[in-house]
Structure 1
C-alpha cells in the first residue's frame, strides 16, 4: 500500500518552480472534520486509495508550512517539502479515525521526523548529530540562543537544563555548529593564484598510489625481473629447475625428503642442489 500512496501525492514539478507547486497545493480545499473522518474511515476499514489520495492532497499545504520552518539550514525548499510529503503519506497510512483527533495533529510528528532525517543527512558532509541528546540539541539550540557567538557559562547551563542534556553536550554541539565544511577541491570560480584564502586539501594531499610514473616504472621492472628469472631458470639442468620450482615457485611446495625420494638421493644432497641453483639464479639476476 505504501508504494501506491507514494504515487498519489502531488509531486514537485520537474520544470517550473517551488512557487508554482505551492500555488497548486494551496488551491486544494481544506477538508471539514466530517469529510476527513469519512475519508479516514474508508481508508482504515476498506483500504480505499481514493480516500487516501484526497487526505494527502488536502494536507500538502500543511507540509509546506512546516517545511518553511527549516529554511535556515540552507537546504533546497523543494527537497524539504518533498521529504515532508513522505512523512505525510506515512501518517495517512497509520491514521486511525477512532482516536478522535484531526489528521493534522497526528501527522505533524511524521512530517517533522522525515524532514529532520533529511536535514541531518544533508546539512553537513560530516554528521553533526548522532546520539539522541545531540539530535535534540541540533534542532533546539538555535531557539535557545540569545546572542551571536559563543555561549557563556550561564547560557550553557540554562540551555542544558531546558533541554535535559549535559552542559558538555551543549558546548560540543555549539562547537560543531560553528564549524564549516571545507571543500576538498577549489570551486570553479576560485583561482590558483596562491592566495591563502583560496586553498583546498586536494592542492596539498599526495596520493602515492595515483603516481602514474611510479606505477609504470614498477610494472616495467616487474616484467624485466620476470624475464630475467625465466632466462636464468632455463640455464639450470632439468633436476635443478624442478627442485627450485617445487620448493619456491608453486603453491603446493615439496619437502626436501619428498624430492630426495623422487630422485633417490639424500635430503642433504637435495639441499645442496637447491643452494647451488639459487646461487646461480641470484648471480644471473644481478648481471
Structure 2
C-alpha cells in the first residue's frame, strides 16, 4: 500500500479567520440607529457600522479600478464615509441604512481622489466633482459613437455634464498633465538644464519681450506665406523637422511618406533651397 504524504487541510472554521459581519434586519438596524442618535450609544453605532463594512470594502475595491489590488487609503476613506453616514442617518425616514451609506461612502472616496489627484487644488463644487469623475467616460463614449465631429466634442461634453466648455477644456488639461518636478531635466541627452531654468524671470524687461514676440509672430506669418509655395510633402517635412516640439527623424518621415531616409533628406535640402530663394526674392522686391 502506497502512502502519500499530503498536508491535512485545516477545518473550514480554522481557514476562515475573518469573522462574518453581523446581519441586521430592518428592525434591529433602526433600533441601533435610534440608540446612537438619541442616547449617544457608541456600541450601537459601532455595531451598525461594522455590519456594513463589506459595503465600504466593495465600494473601495470598485473605486480602485478593475484588476487592481485594494487600496488601503481608499478603503480608509470608505470607512470614514460609513461613519459619516452613521452620524447622519435618520431611521424614521423609512429607508435602509445601506442605501443611505452608499452615497456617503462614494462621496468620501470621490473627495479623496480629487484632493490627491494633483498638488494644485482642484475646484470642489458639485459640478466640478461631476466633471472630474465623468469626463473621460463621456468623452470615450462620444468618440466611440462617432456621431459628434471633433470640433463639437467639447461643447457636447459640456452640455451632457451641465458645465461650460471652458470648464471642460480646463479639466482636460489638468487630467492630461500630471504633476512633475521642477528639477527634472529638460531633455534626455545628458544636459544639465532643468525645467526650473525655464521659468519666467520676474525682473525681465517685459516691453522688450513683447517686442520680441511680435517680431517672432511677424516672422512666422511670413514663413507661413513662403511655405505655401512648397508642395504639401515638402511643407510637412520642413515643419516636422524644424518647427514641431519633437522633431521627427529622417527614417520616421521616410516611413510616413513611403521613401527612404536619404530621399527625405534630399527633399528637405531642396525645399530649404527653394525657401532661401523665396526669402531672397521677397527681400529685394
With the length of structure 1 as denominator, give the TM-score of the two structures: 0.52
Query: Which residue of structure 2 aligns with residue 257 of structure 1?
Result: none
Q: Residue 120 of structure 2 is aligned with which of 126, 133, 142?
A: 126
Q: Is the 8 A contact 1:128 1:173 kept in 2?
A: no
Larger Rg: 1
Query: Which residue of structure 2 aligns with residue 90 of structure 1?
Result: 84
Displacement after TM superposition at 1:181 (Å): 1.3
With the length of structure 2 as denominator, give the TM-score of the two structures: 0.52
Closer, same or farther: CA 47–175 of 1 in aligned 2, 3 Å: same
Displacement after TM superposition at 1:194 (Å): 4.7
What root-mean-square deviation, in Å, do the aligned CA atoms of Structure 1 and Structure 2 show? 3.8
- What is the distance in 2 between the residues matched to 1:204 and 1:160? 33
Residue 43 (structure 1) aligned with residue 43 (structure 2):
no
Give the aligned length: 179
Closer, same or farther: CA 103–141 of 1 in aligned 2, 3 Å: same
Matches within 5 A, 1:92-107: 92-107=86-101
Displacement after TM superposition at 1:122 (Å): 1.1
Q: Is the 8 A contact 1:84 1:114 kept in 2?
A: yes
- What is the distance in 1 between the residues matched to 2:188 and 2:172? 34
Select the structure with the greater relative contact order (CA < 8 A; seq sep ≥ 6).
Answer: 1
Q: Residue 195 of structure 1 is aligned with which of 161, 179, 190?
A: 190
Displacement after TM superposition at 1:184 (Å): 3.5
- What is the distance in 2 between the residues matched to 1:47 and 1:97? 15
- What is the distance in 2 between the residues matched to 1:126 and 1:24? 43
- What is the distance in 2 between the residues matched to 1:47 and 1:108? 23
Closer, same or farther: CA 57–48 of 1 in aligned 2, 3 Å: same
Q: Residue 161 of structure 1 is aligned with which of 159, 162, 167?
A: 159
Q: Is the 8 A contact 1:40 1:55 kept in 2?
A: yes
| Poorly superposed stretches of 4+, deviation over 4 Å | 23-26, 196-200, 202-206
Q: Is the 8 A contact 2:60 2:70 kept in 1?
A: no
- Alignment gaps of 5+ in structure 2: 1-15, 144-148, 202-285
